[in-house]
């Protein structure tokens, strides 16, 4: 059916010392909560299985690799796949992905997957817009070293026919960029799933960003992306005080009209749900944002040439 209940499964913090199994137990508990609310699709956050390790300089390669998954599913995550399939729930999961090449070299991506309601992986996405720095920034409360630990995604912004709809993904910083949504919008996306780990204060803004702007920009970007492409956006945070750094909550389900249909109220593990109709955005894509009728690509060249 193209009408079903979707859940944003926000997470509270994950500590450096938490095991994968402890985290998976939390995710399975939220699957059950979502199931009780009638949801058949659950969106978990970015890097859901670990603490947000890019806040630290990690020089020990073994420690760094311990945050990454070389296989998905694997022994630790298999119970999540099994529980979801048992309940008939599809899900979206963000995690750190390690690819081991034939010559033994390793590549590292910030990755998300869509898993169908029968437990099969239906799609994979690797984060394109990698924020932060490759080198530690002196004098900051925390680092944001995603550019040190992840290479930019090499899969583009694909969409996947899954769960009777056209599904897409992006990850955290991607949600701020209009191109993210438009590239998927041009492929007819109907539901964009994403997760985020966003520190509540941006230490690199040199005090110029008022505290309320973090949440405002979070929702502004996603609401605009939803409306301008006539798509649902379901976004889940890893929130709260994680290893001494505060991360924003605000997980939400956004309708193709750009309106927020449901929003988390806490900064902990919390499931919010909304009934959705994947066809809700059709009138938007057939009228105001009828791309074939109204786009003027002859004037958009600068957007890809610099
Ligand atoms: N995880 C992630 O992409 N977070 C970024 C914060 C970047 S601050 C240098 C975000 O855009 O939310």
Atom number in ligand 1 closest to CA 144 = 9
pLDDT of residue 141: 86
Residue 133 CA: nearest ligand 1 atom is 9
Whether residue 173 has its Cβ less than 6 Å from ligand 1 = yes
Q: Going by CA atoms, what residue is nearest to atom 12 of ligand 1?
A: 198
Q: What burial class does residue 97 get, using C-beta atoms within 10 Å of its C-beta: 0-12 exposed, 13-18 middle, 19+ buried?
A: buried
Give the position, in ligand 1's atom list, of the atom nearest the Cα of 52: 1
Tell me, in angstroms, the distance from the centre of ligand 1 to residue 196's CA: 8
Element housing 275 (H / E): strand 270-277
Instruction: Write down the catalytic residue from 146, 172, 238, 270.
Output: 172
pLDDT score at 101: 97
Pull the structure tokens for residue 228.
């301008």
Pocket test for ligand 1, best of 174, 196, 250 (most atoms within 8 A of CB): 196
Give, for all 306 residues of the chain, the pLDDT tens digit: 999 999 999 999 999 999 999 999 999 999 999 999 999 999 999 999 999 999 999 999 999 999 999 999 999 999 999 999 999 999 999 999 999 999 999 999 999 999 999 999 999 999 999 999 999 999 888 999 999 999 999 999 999 999 999 999 999 999 999 999 999 999 999 999 999 999 998 888 888 999 999 999 999 999 999 999 999 999 999 999 999 999 999 999 999 999 999 999 999 999 999 999 999 999 999 999 999 999 999 999 999 999
Give catalytic status of residue 46 as yes or no: yes
For the question of residue 172 being annotated catalytic, the response is yes
- Beta pairing class for 90-100 and 270-277: unpaired
pLDDT at residue 203 in the model: 84
Dihedral of the CA atoms 239, 242, 247, 253 (nearest 10)?
-10
Computed from CA positions of residues 206, 207, 209, 212, in that sequence, does the dihedral angle turn out positive or negative?
Answer: positive
Q: How far apart are CA 95 and CA 12, in angstroms?
A: 16
Spatial CB neighbours of 296, under 8 Å, sequence gap ≥ 6 = none
Q: How high is the pLDDT of residue 202?
A: 87
3-state secondary structure 52-70: CHHHCCCCCHHHHHCCCEC
| Nearest-CA residue for atom 4 of ligand 1 | 198
Does residue 35's CB lie within 6 angstroms of at least one atom of ligand 1? no
Contacts for 71 with CB less than 8 Å, ≥ 6 apart: none
Q: Which domain holds residue 301?
A: 3-305
Q: What is the CATH number of the domain that holds 265?
A: 3.60.110.10
Domain count, the chain: 1
In the residue annotation, 127 being an active-site residue is answered as yes
């Amino acid at each position: 059916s193209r009408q079903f209940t979707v859940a944003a499964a926000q997470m509270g913090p994950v500590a450096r010392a938490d095991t994968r199994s402890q985290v998976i137990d939390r995710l399975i508990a939220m699957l059950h909560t979502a199931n009780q609310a009638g949801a058949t699709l659950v969106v978990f956050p970015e890097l859901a299985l670990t603490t947000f390790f890019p806040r630290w300089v990690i020089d020990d390669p073994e420690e760094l690799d311990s945050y990454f998954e070389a296989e998905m599913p694997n022994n630790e995550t298999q119970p999540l796949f099994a529980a979801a399939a048992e309940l008939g729930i599809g899900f979206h999961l963000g995690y750190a992905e390690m690819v081991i090449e034939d010559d033994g070299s390793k590549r590292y991506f910030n990755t998300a997957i869509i898993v169908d309601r029968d437990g099969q992986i239906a799609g994979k996405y690797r984060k394109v817009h990698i924020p932060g720095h490759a080198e530690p920034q002196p004098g900051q409360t925390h680092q944001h070293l995603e550019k040190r630990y992840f290479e930019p995604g090499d899969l583009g912004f694909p969409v996947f026919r899954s769960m009777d709809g056209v599904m897409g993904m992006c990850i955290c910083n991607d949600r701020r960029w209009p191109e993210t949504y438009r590239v998927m919008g041009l492929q007819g996306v109907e539901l964009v799933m994403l997760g985020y780990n966003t520190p509540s204060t941006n230490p690199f803004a040199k005090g110029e960003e008022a505290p309320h702007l973090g949440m405002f920009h979070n929702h502004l970007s996603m609401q605009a992306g939803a409306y301008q492409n006539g798509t649902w956006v379901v976004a889940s945070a890893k929130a709260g005080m994680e290893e001494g750094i505060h991360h924003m909550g605000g997980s939400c389900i956004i309708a193709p009209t750009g309106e927020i249909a449901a929003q988390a109220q806490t900064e902990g593990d919390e499931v919010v749900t909304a009934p959705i109709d994947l066809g809700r955005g059709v009138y938007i894509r057939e009228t105001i944002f009828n791309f074939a009728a109204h786009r003027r690509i002859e004037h958009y060249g600068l957007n890809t040439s610099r």
